[in-house]
Amino acid sequence: MTNKIVTLVTGGNRGMGLALIKALHAQGQQLIMGSRDLAKGRAAVEAAHLADVTVVQLDVTDSQSIQAAVNTIQKQYGQLDILINNAGAAFDHHSSNWRQFKPT
């Protein structure tokens, strides 16, 4: 358990998610990086020299992955104070229709 604010950033292993992790880390928050690929998450933490950031495998489109992450967070921290849902998910399998869209 920790007295720090516990924050989970989904999609945290690159781009805006990793930038958020770095900025919040500098503010002293206890961070959990959600990453679909656990190895890529761990590599991002190592490359950014953020050894105290916890990495959990988390695919926001997979209910089993979500439940496993919840269980890990509850067991390790007992709580989650902030969730930053940065993970991208495409649910529209008809994205080719957008290519035909012409704004007026």
Q: What pLDDT, in 10s, does the model give residues 26-76?
A: 999 999 999 999 999 999 999 999 999 999 999 999 999 999 999 999 999
pTM: 0.81
- Candidates 3.40.50.720, 3.20.20.140, 2.170.270.10, 3.40.50.2300; CATH matching 6-99: 3.40.50.720
pLDDT at 88: 76
pLDDT of residue 91: 52
CB-neighbour burial class of residue 64 (10 A; exposed 0-12, middle 13-18, buried 19+): exposed
Contact criterion met (CB below 8 Å) for 66 and 89 = no
Q: What percent of the chain has pLDDT over 90?
A: 77
Mean of the per-residue pLDDT values for the chain? 87
